[in-house]
Structure 1
């Protein structure tokens, strides 16, 4: 299989799908690997490193797409990618099509096949989403803590407090991988953390993080009360492939104190907070009802070196299966197809 790794062109996206060592593995199994020049630069991987691993480095995107049948990238195709895609391509990347109906229509019109990292599901596990959720959860607290500083427009609060000073209050919606990592970091900082979920086992894990962490069932009234007093609200709700449900209404956001912060990790699936809208790292925040909102859809792109290493390791085993004959006979891969020869097929996009 001829595999192409293009340079990511989403705003300030520094990740690349595969590190040179992963490319070497693919070449060892006889696959042709083409890498667009500069694709790994922001993650610290040179063209020379890819060439040494056995890849052919291609000067531009047009050449990369022309030489490759299987396109492996990090983020969903954007305008500069779409112009090079044809019906013969298979795209393997994060897609989040439930929140992107226009992109879905464009992929259908091209007639290609698209497989989402986020819809690779092994039982209840999402192995290609998990490493980026790890990072996004940790970043949510780091970024939120910074946005609470007065020069950033925040209420001027030290999230973890200190002796004689009140602790900041962090509310997290969802105790999965992203929410759990957010709770871990917030608890370590010393904040008062409340995590909402409907899974008792997950809530027990949150409680075990420390005496400053409370796990609660996600009743609407309980969420509303917690949101009202939150200094930092983090949305981390996920239903694989589906658009996120709004658990926090605009009225709830209005009830928050001025200078509070919202970080909605679920924004790439439409967001679980009604006032959230997608942003990027060129203008990551906006203010609504006196509350700072952070809605960047590619949060791990801020730490491309770490994110690329984690993502590449997760992708490689699945990519090896996808590049082999008969991949459609693999139930997990077949079940992760979002668009097949121009037809929307994933149940989460059909319901």
Structure 2
């Protein structure tokens, strides 16, 4: 499909620079096949049904943005994907100043050797020493806010908490599964009281999520792989939810993509552990999810393509036009949408 089909104009003032407070006070646009209406995230217990199950991503964002020196040259690194106990693949700023085998000093005694430059300009960084890399990153890294926020303000102490979900427990992401940022313990309690359950899986979101689609046609776009895991108990539980008539509602596109990666052709969710580079565009047949809670995404992005595949391109174009006109806040710290396609 032509990527221009997924373009739209977004006023800069619609980009949220801070999350709603409290988190569950964020607005939420409910989109169904029959139409759409405005609500709030805290209304979820009344909008879903007893027996439904929300699926959250429990990945935890690491301080994945680093600033260092190769000699006198300034080098910026955004970690993308773990490749070994001490090796991370990273996108490099000022990559022309870096060659295979050269050492980058990131401060605080943290050094890494660059190697294996990829076609996308990324490098593998092998961190020296015996300390766990997680400790090194705490010493020299900072929270990797999306570029559309970082270009407008500096990362600060608030982001260390604001950019983690209440489910964050498995370190490894370089971007938050932002739909889950809206959830609070009080909201989870209200959902449980209404008979709506929740489960967790893990997908370590990579920096590739911020990359624009540069191809003119979706067939020419290559997704970056991300590592994920669904254990057998979670797979069994989600299958049981659907077998009993409940709906599996993914919270975030990351949860949705992993569930769909783990599905058989007949819609059975299997245990999964490994990389996924699934790219969902209109025409895709969804097998494992019955709905999605997600934020509002960038024009021409793979995520806007995904929601258009779920609900239909015209429906999402209309939903986004309404959201812009009604003053909804967009992107990572913005408002939410609840997408409920009819289930066959």
Same topology, TM > 0.5: no
Q: Provide TM-score, normalisation by structure 2.
A: 0.26
Q: Provide TM-score, normalisation by structure 1.
A: 0.26
